Chain A
């Protein structure tokens, strides 16, 4: 798997098939990106579970916080890690100890750990790094186009009118595989410098 540039078809298949998402590092503070990614994905019909030991006893948009992945007590399809790169390995290790492994481990924008990713992939888990599922869902459905963002997709079908709790079609024609060439360059530059 090339973690610098994902094919749209790879991201699309993940977002089209997962139903439950445990978000590690979800925040109840309504100006944090994790809060509004959580809310957006819940509104798009995903079964969201907030994981954050600092907020056990509270709930996020009606969903009770749990302290750890093990505390969820049922299988989840995807784990979305809202932590810095340095905090990724213990979360991945924890995920690999679950009775039923998740199908996908997703690391948020800015978060990447290639070693942890390789470990998860060796266990048959799909990995996405340095992306936001809210942005990718908005991009593939073209909902994000309201913000002038290049969805890198085309469609000649009548657009759906998005409403709360509605799953949008992500199956538009892709204009390019993963990122734009320019973003690939940025990712490469970053690696060259580090």
Chain B
């Protein structure tokens, strides 16, 4: 009566995928179609009424995307997932299920600059109000809770600083407040950290980064942990109340522990429209098959480069949680024992100008606004990804003017170090 449990690498290759029923194709086919025929009128009505499993229209679901969804759900240890067009789209769809105009959510100050912008400006026009918590002062999250709080949002490993967040401590605050904890796990990937194991109720990703891994496709995903009681206290009417657009179905009652993922699909993706292209889903799936191998190499290289920079005469400071003595090293050891990721920042003794010079002198590192590529990347956050923040916000987000961010790729580490050496001395 025992069921053997496959390991992470087996899931990364197999979960969600099965040889095609019609052709026997072993790789997941790209179902590049807008629509799917119904068997008959009753079948169509059952699908539209959420009474049967099946495909209608690629804006709502697609068989290639479904393989990606099940695979990421399996890797994160969730009950279900929903793939969308980008990480930003994932955040909009998640919060649309949770917040009404006038509601609040608490977000960590240390976030990707694009998320800070989205939360501060775009969401303001929806009447969703963001309050900020400081991951270095866990109590600040508790102090920000009000009767209007509907969710807490953090990054497991924060961009750009590479700092590791105490997920379990913030989860305890979320549970006390009776709200779900949303964790953006983009930079860690489930290979390094599985936030659901530490108390996350919802996990979001920009698939564009390490999961896809090759810098060729945008994508986002929402993973439902299946842990939150959406019907308690009537705080989340999108899930607990009868839905008029589906003849009065209550999503939580009907779908149980994967109700949140279903709500995101049938109320969020269906009506807001940020569908993922099946072709992108295929490329992302192919990337995920090698996620464990790539993350091992990313982390090994990042540590070697961080150690090199930490010992360099022109470097003022290296902020990499994988280095002993780093402020976040103990959190990294607890949450990410296999490695602290491949993203970190450092500052130069020569300040802002030295940082700008370094970026222009590098020959192997690419200067661009992405992370989690096979290629090593460099950027100056203060003038790019975090440029729309004021100086105080920049510093709080870990993007002070003298900071340079690296995303370490899977090249030979000796070549990365040689490139940095020549650029620092040039």
Residues of chain A touching chain B, judged by Cβ–Cβ distance below 8 Å, are: 7-10, 30-31, 33, 35-36, 39-40, 109-110, 132, 135, 138, 142-152, 154-161, 163-164, 173-177, 179-183, 185-186, 189-190
**By the criterion CB–CB under 8 Å, are B53 and A143 in contact?**
yes
4 closest Cβ contacts across the A-B interface?
Answer: A148-B69, A36-B51, A174-B3, A150-B73
Task: Please tell me if the beta carbons of A148 and B18 are within 8 angstroms of each other in the complex.
Answer: no
0 or 1 for each of B199-230: is its CB under 8 Å from A? (1 = yes): 00000000000000000000000000111110
B79 pairs with A31, CB closer than 8 A = no
Q: How far is the CA of A113 from the CA of B332 in the complex (A)?
A: 43
Q: Which residues of A contact B81 (CB under 8 A)?
A: 148, 150
B3 near A177 with CB under 8 A, answer yes
**Which among A35, A109, A146, A180 is the interface contact of B54 at CB below 8 angstroms?**
A146
Q: Which of chain B's residues 46-97 have a Cβ closer than 8 Å to chain A? A: 46, 49, 51-55, 61, 63, 65-67, 69-70, 73-74, 77-83
B15 on interface, CB distance cutoff 8 Å: yes
A186–B253 CB distance below 8 A:
no
Give Cα A186 to B79, complex, Å: 12
Known: A31-B249, A148-B82. 5 other contacts (CB 8 A): A7-B1, A149-B258, A150-B81, A154-B11, A161-B22
User: A160 CA to B197 CA in the complex, in Å?
Assistant: 34
B53 near A147: Cβ-Cβ < 8 Å? yes
Name 13 A/B residue pairs within 8 A (Cβ), A-sorted: A7-B3, A9-B1, A9-B3, A36-B49, A148-B66, A148-B69, A148-B81, A150-B73, A150-B74, A154-B11, A160-B21, A180-B226, A182-B226
CA distance A139 to B195 in the complex (A): 24
Query: By the criterion of a CB under 8 Å from any partner CB, how many residues of chain B are at the interface?
Result: 62
**With contact pairs A36-B51, A148-B81 given, residues A109 and B3 touching in the complex (Cβ less than 8 Å):** no
Report B's interface with A, CB cutoff 8 A: 1-6, 10-11, 14-16, 18-22, 24, 39, 46, 49, 51-55, 61, 63, 65-67, 69-70, 73-74, 77-83, 175, 196-197, 225-229, 246-249, 253-258, 261-262, 265
Q: Assess A154 versus B61: contact at CB under 8 Å? Given A31-B249, A147-B80.
A: no
Are B70 and A183 touching (Cβ within 8 A)? no
- B39's contact among A7, A156, A164, A182, by CB below 8 Å, is which? A164
Measured in the bound complex, the distance between the Cα atoms of B19 and A146 in whole Å is: 15
Are B6 and A182 interface neighbours, CB within 8 A? no
Nearest Cβ in chain B — how far from A111, in angstroms?
A: 11
Q: Which residues of the partner chain B approach A146 to less than 8 Å between Cβ atoms?
A: 53-55, 61, 63, 66
A109, A144, A149, A186 — most chain B CB neighbours (10 Å):
A149
**Distance between B369 CB and nearest chain A CB, rounded to angstroms:** 29
A145 to B14 CA separation, bound complex (whole angstroms) = 13
Q: Which residues of B contact A33 (CB under 8 A)?
A: 253-254
- B residues in contact with A148, CB < 8 Å: 61, 65-66, 69-70, 73, 80-83, 261, 265
A132, A154, A160: residue with the most chain B Cβ atoms closer than 10 Å: A154
- Bound-state CA distance A160–B24 (Å) is 10
Are B227's CB and A185's CB within 8 A?
A: yes
Inter-chain CA distance A152–B70, complex, in Å, is 9
